[in-house]
Amino acid sequence: MQLAYETQGVGPPLLILHGLFGSARNWTVVAKQLADTYRVHLVDLRNHGKSPHAGTMTYEEMADDVRGFILEHALSGAAVIGHSMGGKTAMMLALRHPELVGSLTVVDIAPVSYRPRHRELIAALRATDLAGIQRRSEADARLAQRIDDSGLRAFLGLSLVPADSGFTWQFNLAAIDANLDTLSGFPEFAPGETFAGPALFVVGALSDYVLPEHRTAIRGLFPHAEIAAIDGAGHWVHAERRDAFVARLREFLIAVR
């Protein structure tokens, strides 16, 4: 699958993989901060952003999509950053194709299975009629009937695009719904199957996605992993405490260059 992407900056290659319901657009501000030092590639994963849709989206498939992107653009040895679903995709890429990954940064996710968290959200999105809407403010008003969190609605609104009869979601909601159990999980690896390269796990101190008991799983697959918590941040670390996140990321990237 040929993935859609945006690039900016000059320097060593750096790939960023967004999370569920997101797109490359969620990372444009971070990319601008890094573009003075790196050639940043913001990638839309399958069923998200401008990338093609597909009925399945296992982490093996998404890692293979990214592998194809790296090979097509001659980016072997790039620094790879992934948030949430993108973090699991980045981990899978590093474990299956370590020769392609110069360093790995995983943002607020662990290589473990979680209970599906988004069934109520998906139900709310599927129940919201976007037909006939002329303005994004109208879409937000309709979403507000089912989703109270204005920040979450603003995040989702980045994936609203005009359609012939109103607006529609740029992400493939049906495929996400059908694959949610798979996306909530993470494949098992045999003992000794590890990524021996440099790895940084950045967690939000206020988030419950990476718990103390997950550290064993992290270090089992990524024996050289550093784990850094960002105070005052929840799951969207890169948006909620952007400057602190970028500073910690730069420190890591400089150290492993």
* pLDDT tens per residue, range 161-210: 988 888 999 999 999 999 999 999 999 998 889 999 999 999 999 999 99
Name the 3-class secondary structure at 128: coil
pLDDT-derived band at 48 (thresholds 50, 70, 90) equals: very high
Please tell me the predicted confidence (pLDDT) of residue 135. Answer: 87
Please tell me the predicted confidence (pLDDT) of residue 144. Answer: 94
Are residue 34 and residue 97 in the same domain, yes or no? yes
d(CA 213, CA 195) in angstroms, rounded, equals 20
Are residue 49 and residue 83 in the same domain, yes or no? yes
Are residue 90 and residue 156 in the same domain, yes or no? no
Are residue 16 and residue 103 in the same domain, yes or no? yes
Q: Which domain holds residue 246?
A: 5-114+185-256
Please tell me the predicted confidence (pLDDT) of residue 165. Answer: 82
Are residue 107 and residue 218 in the same domain, yes or no? yes
- Tell the residue number behind the tokens 């697959």, with chain if given: 221
**Percentage of the chain surpassing pLDDT 90?**
89
Query: Which one of 178, 197, 222 terminates a domain?
Result: 178
* Helical H segments across 25-171, by residue range: 28-34, 59-72, 85-96, 119-127, 136-144, 150-157
Domain count, the chain: 2
Query: Which one of 178, 209, 225 terminates a domain?
Result: 178
What tens digit of pLDDT does each residue of 73-104 get? 999 999 999 999 999 999 999 999 999 999 99
Q: Which residues have C-beta within 8 Å of that of residue 201, sequence separation ≥ 6?
A: 105, 106, 110, 210, 218, 222, 225, 226, 227, 228
Are residue 231 and residue 167 in the same domain, yes or no? no
Query: Which one of 178, 193, 212 terminates a domain?
Result: 178
Query: What CATH number has the domain bearing residue 98?
Result: 3.40.50.1820
pLDDT-derived band at 19 (thresholds 50, 70, 90) equals: very high
Are residue 156 and residue 88 in the same domain, yes or no? no
Are residue 76 and residue 195 in the same domain, yes or no? yes
d(CA 159, CA 79) in angstroms, rounded, equals 26
d(CA 94, CA 92) in angstroms, rounded, equals 5
Structure letter (DSSP) for residue 222: -
Beta-ladder partners of 7: 41
- How much is the mean pLDDT over the chain? 95
CB 252 within 8 A of CB 200: yes
Q: DSSP string covering 17-53, please?
A: E--TT--GGGGHHHHHHHTTTSEEEEEPPTTSTTSPP
pLDDT-derived band at 131 (thresholds 50, 70, 90) equals: confident
Going by C-alpha positions, the residue among 19, 20, 21, 17 that lies closest to residue 5 is 17
d(CA 222, CA 25) in angstroms, rounded, equals 29
Please tell me the predicted confidence (pLDDT) of residue 141. Answer: 93
Please tell me the predicted confidence (pLDDT) of residue 164. Answer: 82
Is 3's pLDDT higher than 90?
Answer: yes
pLDDT-derived band at 32 (thresholds 50, 70, 90) equals: very high
In this predicted structure, which of 10-19, 42-51, 139-148, 224-233 has the lowest mean pLDDT?
139-148
Are residue 130 and residue 102 in the same domain, yes or no? no
Please tell me the predicted confidence (pLDDT) of residue 256. Answer: 93
Please tell me the predicted confidence (pLDDT) of residue 112. Answer: 97
Are residue 22 and residue 95 in the same domain, yes or no? yes
Is 134's pLDDT higher than 90?
Answer: no
Are residue 204 and residue 163 in the same domain, yes or no? no
Are residue 24 and residue 101 in the same domain, yes or no? yes
